[in-house]
Amino acid sequence: MSDSRQYELLYVVSPVVTEDGVTELHARIEEIVQQLGGSIEQTDNWGRRRLAYKINRHREGTYVFELINASGSILSELDRRLRVMDELLRHLIVRVDEDLRKAARAKVRREAKNRTTKSVGSVSGPAAVQPSEETSDVPSVSAVEAPELTTGVKE
């Protein structure tokens, strides 16, 4: 599994299947992924939702999202096994774009850093920024004249 990548698996379970059945189905899928040499990193049960259109005469389904770590060679076998499961209305497997994941993680780190610097920045002291006198000759926003807005209706 040297060429291991992350994949997103989203599947829609028939509304006939109970919550316990969805849990059992997840366990079966996890077992299949492990047999093929992969692992499931994250599972989110999104619950029962309305479908955009009827699938096999059903208007609702239980959505389950899973983040899989596996090599690309197992996808065709996983897809084949998911296709024959009667409980599933639909499924989709897509590769996670590593650049987007890195950007999302960097954004979370930046936001966390900004939150900590804001709480630290509220403390006054030698590190606090004082307004400089050089900016005092710049006119304020209220001092700048803005053109009058017209409605186009003559009075």
CATH number at residue 72: 3.30.70.60
Is 138 a member of any domain? no
Is 116 a member of any domain? no
| Per-residue pLDDT at 121 exceeds 70 | no
Is 61 a member of any domain? yes
For the segment 94-116, the average pLDDT, to the nearest whole number, is 83
Least confident of 53-62, 67-76, 111-120, 133-142: 133-142
Report yes or no: 94 and 51 within 8 Å, Cβ to Cβ. Answer: no
Range of the domain at 78: 4-98
| Per-residue pLDDT at 97 exceeds 90 | no
Report yes or no: 11 and 62 within 8 Å, Cβ to Cβ. Answer: no
The domain tally of the chain equals 1
